[in-house]
Structure formats: C-alpha cells, structure tokens
Amino acid sequence: AEYELGEHPDFMYKEMLDQRDAVDRCLRGRLDRRFMSARLDGIGLSPREYQQIRRVKLLGCGSAYYAAQVGAGMIEELARIPADAEPASEFRYRNPVVDPDTLYVAISQSGETLDTLGAVHELKRKGGRVIGLVNVVSSSIARECGSGIFLHAGSEVSVAATKSFTNMGVTLALLALELGRVRDLSITQGRRLVEGLDALPALVGEILGAEQRIAAVAARYANVANMFFIGRVRGWPVAREGAQKLKEISYVHAEAYQASELKHGPLALINPQMPTVAIVPDDELLAKNISTIEEIKARGGPVIAVTDADLPAGLATDVIQVPRAHPDLAPITLSLPLQLFAYHLAKSLGRDIDRPRNLAKSVTVE
C-alpha cells in the first residue's frame, strides 16, 4: 500500500506516533532470551570475529551522526570496546587511517546520503570491515556494505528524522549487547538489558501519550530567539539531536553544549531570555546535573528539565517527566519528548513541518 498521510496533519506527526510499533518491529526476533544476547544474523560475524574487534567507529550525517554518538556510548559502556562517532562527511575527506581490527558502522536512514556512501567507499578501498545500519533495504549503502542490521522503521517522509533515529538507537543497543556478551557483560547484565529492550515499546507509547503536556510547555517558549540544550555523557548526544531538531523545523537558534562545559564559557550568555533544555538521565551524574541547573537558575535562566529521575521540587522552571528506562536506553526514551517539543514549538510558529526551508530528506549530491 502506498504511504499516505491519512488523518494526520503532517508526516512528522504520523511518524512520531508510529514509534511504538517501529521499535516493536525493530526488536522482533532479535532478542536472544536463552543467552541474554542479541540475534543479529545480518552482520555475519562469528563469536571469534566479534572477539577480534579492538575498536568501533560509527559514521553518519545529521541525526544519524548523533545516533552514532549514542551508539558509541552504549558500546563503550556495555562492551568496554573503545568506540567513537564521526560525521561521515568529515571522515571521507581527511584521509583516515583504516585499521583491520576496527569495526566500522555506517548509519543512514535513506542509505543514499552521498557523504556516508563516500565514507563506505573509502573504507572498502582501504580494506576496512564495514557494516550498515540502514532503513531502506534496497539502498546503495545497504548494498555496498553487504552486511549489517536493517532498522525496520518503515517509510519516513518527513525531513526531520524521528522513528529512524529511535530505531538507530535500538539497533545500536542490540549491537552493544551482542559485542558485550562475547566479552565481559555478564548474563545478569545481559538479562537486564534484554528486559529493558522488551519493555521499550510500551515505554515509547507512554511517552508519546504525554504529548499534550509537552505541547503546552513548547508553546510557552515559542517566542524565544535562542536556546541552549545541555547534557552530560548519555545526555549529550540527546541534547545535540534535540537542538538539531528544533533548528531544522522551527528555525529557532539552538546550541547544544556539554553540561560540564557550560561553566567554561557559555554560562556568560545565561539570562531570562535564554532558556536551557537540560537532559537529566537518572544515572551516576544526576547530582552534577542538578547543580548545573542550580547555576543556571541563579543567573535567571529558565530551565526545562527533560528527565526520568525524581528531581527536587521547584528545581526547574518546567519539567518534562519521562518514565524510567534501563539507564543505557535512556538516550532513546529521552529523545522522544524533544521531537514533540520541536514539533509543537514549530507548529506554534506556523512552520511547514515536513518541508523545512533549505533542507532535503537525503542529500545525494555534493
């Protein structure tokens, strides 16, 4: 059947609301409840080959790059393999050193982004081992990589990535689980993550159900000219993706910053006209994030906290509360309210959500 808008106001809205089902599709058949691992046959690596991986390098552009950063964090945390993300657009032109013990991961919704395809070509020319995390099955990047994990997000038409970003997070969690389980991740830790992934579709549904509350918060900030998005470690790529989403569809200037670096410069810009969206996962860095919010408040800056923790009452100006996920899956759940926030803020400004100015769904030219 052709992909149609139906009764939805725009494709971004339709695609955001499809995320519970999209995550469900992505997980189907991929959780190994016997060994508390992932079943990723499309990668085609034996346990011994998994063992030989010494580094992971994740490449993508735009939202796929921020998803790559989420994945690098998951892989380091769960598998204890050094991992990092880089924009494919930079990688392909800087004459990268390609190492045979590194697993390269090319991430793309469309599978046609020229910079990402260029990075794959450069890798293959130098004998690198590259797998694809791609949504469109028949795409160039999927074909060139020859192995990998399909996102199963379904069609995505809106320029702003939503369900593809979420499913990039899910497939990266599966990859981190598999890499972890051939190394030091215990069966107990594996079980916790499998259970966390199992619970994810319902959590996603619950978060999307809080849309009206998020819309009300977004409407209150529709007149601002600039915003900060801050986060630490797990929250940092979430902040970057949230700021990107806001810029793309509302044209409000947003800058993402590591919460830890705020006091080394940008704190000078905080005032009542400069709101900050603070991503606050319920993890070891909670106390640090709370004190950063206090510093912002002390300088008169409004704070919108997006959190799955129990924050002290009155700490933030506005709180967008999200149900608690497995800590390593929080980058996925905490990103969802930021999509709704950007969407509703852009709506209150009357923007053309599916066709933002100057942007294309996939950039297939130089």
Enumerate binding residues for ligand G6P (CB under 6 A).
61-64, 108-110, 113, 116, 159-161, 359, 361-363
**Residues facing residue 84 across a β-bridge:** 57
Say how many C-beta atoms besides its own lie within 10 A of residue 97's C-beta: 8
Q: CB-wise, 115 or 328, nearer to ligand G6P? A: 115
Compare residues 199 and 363 and give the one whose CB is closer to ligand G6P: 363
Residue 285 or residue 336: which is nearer to ligand G6P going by CB? 336
Distance from C-alpha of 73 to C-alpha of 123, rounded to nearest angstrom: 22
Beta-bridge mates of residue 85:
58
- Nearest Cα neighbor of 89 from 66, 110, 61, 67 is 61
Min. distance of Cβ 164 from ligand G6P in angstroms? 6
Least distance CB 218 / ligand G6P (angstroms): 20
* Beta carbon nearer to ligand G6P, 168 or 320: 168
Q: What is the CA radius of gyration of the chain?
A: 20
The residue at minimum Cβ distance from ligand G6P is 62
For the CB of residue 109, give the shortest distance to ligand G6P in the complex, in Å: 3
Q: Beta strands of 226-267 (E only): which ranges?
A: 226-231, 253-258
For the CB of residue 62, give the shortest distance to ligand G6P in the complex, in Å: 3
CB of 317 to ligand G6P, least distance (A): 29
CB of 362 to ligand G6P, least distance (A): 4
Is the Cβ of residue 110 or residue 167 nearer to ligand G6P in the bound state? 110
Question: Any residues with CB less than 8 A from the CB of 329 and at least 6 apart, and which?
Answer: 169, 173, 193, 196, 197, 200
CA angle 95–97–99, rounded 5-degree value: 150
Which residue's CB is nearer to ligand G6P, number 69 or number 109? 109
Identify whether the C-beta of residue 111 lies closer than 8 Å to the C-beta of residue 132: yes
Query: What type of residue sits at position 363?
Result: V
